[in-house]
Amino acid sequence: MLIKIISSVLIIICCSLLGIHMSYRYTQRINNIRELRNVLSHLETEIVNYSTLLVHAIRNSSKYVKGDWKPFFDNIVEALENRMEYSLAEVWQESLRALEHNPNVDKAEYEIMQRFGLQLGSSDKVSQEKYFQLIQEQLKVEENSAREARLKYSRMYYNLGILLGLGIAIILF
């Protein structure tokens, strides 16, 4: 009898932790978008205001990024500094492919960054500044939709984990 109670409690705890993990992904997506917006803002300052070379601007900006986007920017800096035969667009797309299956990076952010990589460094400062502003607006919209999704689904996954654990425990008990 004691073994059944202990196993039921363990099942409930494990399913609850699974629900918490699933709900955490929504919070992590919001944090990743916020980090991406911050690093792009810093990159814009480096390029538009300080007239820093693109490779150096990306390197300086990558120091401030955290989360799932850090390896992306680190790969770009490493590839541009070590292999000069690649263009920025090629390196950008190659580094972006590593994030394609990341559960914390949604397809919308992936596509925004894919389009952004094709435009970065291909025009004058005024056009770059306008494109940075456009990207910031698009990411702001995605951040708002991520917040709505978190409100909608985060609590659901948390409760679903607890209920699933209780259901399995009742069936097995």
User: Can you give the pLDDT at residue 46?
Assistant: 92
Q: Please check whether residue 33 is in contact with residue 102, taking contact to mean a CB–CB distance below 8 angstroms.
A: no
Q: How far apart are CA 75 and CA 70, in angstroms?
A: 9
Res. 84: pLDDT tops 80 = no
Both tokens of 122, joined, read: 């291909």
Q: Which tens digits make up the pLDDT trace of 98-123?
A: 888 888 899 999 999 999 999 988 88
Position 80 confidence tier, pLDDT thresholds 50, 70, 90: confident
Listed in sequence order, the residues at least 6 apart from 98 whose beta carbon sits closer than 8 Å to its beta carbon are 71, 72, 75
Cα separations (Å) of 105 from 13, 35, 50, 71?
Answer: 28, 12, 30, 13
User: Can you give the pLDDT at residue 108?
Assistant: 94
User: Can you give the pLDDT at residue 85?
Assistant: 61
Q: What is the number of structural domains in the chain?
A: 1
Please give the residue range of the domain that contains residue 31.
Answer: 2-172
Q: Which tens digits make up the pLDDT trace of 27-56?
A: 999 999 999 999 999 999 999 998 888 889
Q: Please check whether residue 158 is in contact with residue 23, taking contact to mean a CB–CB distance below 8 angstroms.
A: yes
99 in helix, strand or coil? coil
DSSP 67: G
Q: Which tens digits make up the pLDDT trace of 54-65?
A: 889 999 999 989
Cα separations (Å) of 151 from 47, 118, 146, 158?
Answer: 36, 33, 9, 12
Q: How far apart are CA 129 and CA 97, in angstroms?
A: 26
